[in-house]
Amino acid sequence: MVREWDPRTASSAEIESLLDAVNAGLATDQPEDPQWQNSSLREYLTEVMPGARRISWVAQDDPTEDGQPGPILGHIHVLLLGNMGVVEVLVHPRARRRGLGRELMITAARRTYQEGFSALGAEVVGDTPAVAFFEALGFAKEYIETRSVLRLPTVDWSALGGMAESAAPGYRLEFHPGSPPDELIEPYARAKAETRDIDDGDLNLRPSSHDPQQLRDSLACLNNRGMKPYIVLAIHEASGEVAGLTEVVVPAQRPTRADQYDTIVTRAHVGQGIDRAIKARMLLELRTAEPNLTEVQTWNAQVNEPMLKVNAELGFQPDRDWLEYGVDVAELVHRLDANPR
C-alpha cells in the first residue's frame, strides 16, 4: 500500500521501520558507507528551507498477524524548490523487482506535475541499481561528480599542520562552528555568490545560498535537521573580504562520516594557496571538535582538476561517481501512465 506520509506525525515505530529500510539498502548497495542512526532522523526528514516543501510517501507491507502495521518497504519524497522538484526514492532490497519503485515514482511525479513544476531531478549513486532504474524511466544524465573519501586514521597530521599554514601572507583563517558571526555573513554570502552564474551543467540539486538571509536560513535549517555545520573562512586582511571558504556538515544520523560541501576561492584570490590551507585547517579543527569522526566525504566535478589535486594532497581517495539526472515531468507522467508496468 502506497500512502502519503508525514514524518512530523509518524509514529516512532514507523521512523524505526524506515531506518531499517535505509540501512538495508546501504548494506546492499553501498556497504562501505556507515549505517544511519535514529538521532534527529525525524527532524532530518521534516525540516526544509523557507519557501521549500517536501512531500513524502511510503509503501508498507501487509499488517502482521496481530494487526500491527507492516514494515515500510519503500519511501519516496520530492523536495519542491525553485523551479523544479528533487526526488529521492528507496526500496527495501527484499521488495525490489516487484514494480514498487515505479509505483512510488509515478505517485511523486503526478503530484509534482499537479503542483505546477516542469522538471524533476534526482541524485543517483554510481554503481548501484538506481542508475538502471532512473534510466529505464527516461531520466537523462546531466552531470557527473566524483565522490572522494578521506579516512582520518590515515592522515599525516604533522604534514597537515604545515598545509594549514601554507596560504600566502595577508590572509587570516578563521574557524566557525555552527555559523560565522553576523558581521561576516554578508562577505561570506558575496564569496558564495561568485559561483551562482557558473554554468557547468550542475542541476544544483543541493541548494546553495548566495544572499545573507538565505545563508542564515540555510545554516539554521542544517542545525534544525541535526546536521552541525562547520565553516573555515580565509579573510583577506587588507580588505576584510572573505577570499575563500569551506563548509563541512556532521550529521547526527551518521556522526562518523562528515560531508564537505562548498569549497570556494574567489577569483581575485586564486593562486594564493587558500584552497589547500582552508581544507587542511578544517580537518585539524574537526579532529578536536568531533572526536568520533572517522571519515570525511566530498564531491567534485570531474573537470575541477585543481580541487581534485588538492584533495589528493590531503589524502582523499576517489570512491564513486555521483550522478545528476533530470526529466520533463509532463513527459514522465505520460510515459508512466501509458506503461504502468
User: 3-state SS string over the chain?
Assistant: CEEEECCCCCCHHHHHHHHHHHHHHHHHHCCCCCCCCCCCHHHHHHCCCCCCEEEEEEEECCCCCCCCCCCEEEEEEEEEECCEEEEEEEECHHHCCCCHHHHHHHHHHHHHHHCCCCEEEEEEECCCHHHHHHHHCCCEEEEEEEEEEEEHHHCCHHHHHHHHCCCCCCEEEEEEECCCCHHHHHHHHHHHHCCCCCCCCCCCCCCCCCCHHHHHHHHHHHHHCCEEEEEEEEEECCCCCEEEEEEEEEECCCCCEEEEEEEEECHHHCCCCHHHHHHHHHHHHHHHHCCCCCEEEEEEECCCHHHHHHHHHHCCEEEEEEEEEEEEHHHHHHHHHHCCC
| 299 CB neighbour count, 10 Å cutoff | 18
Q: What cell does 51 get? A: 519557501
Question: What is the rounded distance in angstroms from the CA atom of residue 299 to the CA atom of residue 307?
Answer: 10
Question: What is the rounded distance in angstroms from the CA atom of residue 149 to the CA atom of residue 135?
Answer: 27
Domain residue extents for the chain: 2-145+324-338, 156-314
Q: What cell does 184 get? A: 561576516
Per-residue pLDDT of the chain (341 residues; tens, 9 = 90+): 899 999 999 999 999 999 999 999 999 999 999 999 999 999 999 999 998 999 999 999 988 777 778 999 999 999 998 889 999 999 999 999 999 999 999 999 999 999 999 999 999 999 999 999 999 999 999 999 999 999 999 999 999 999 999 999 999 999 999 999 999 999 999 999 887 655 455 555 555 567 899 999 999 999 999 999 999 999 999 999 999 999 999 999 999 999 998 899 999 999 999 999 999 999 999 999 999 999 999 999 888 888 999 999 999 999 999 999 999 999 999 999 887 66
What topology does CATH give the domain 156-314? Answer: Aminopeptidase (3.40.630)
Tell me if domain 2-145+324-338 and domain 156-314 are identical in fold.
yes
* 2-145+324-338 CATH pick, 1.10.10.10, 3.40.630.30, 2.60.40.10, 3.40.109.10: 3.40.630.30
Output the pTM of the full model: 0.92
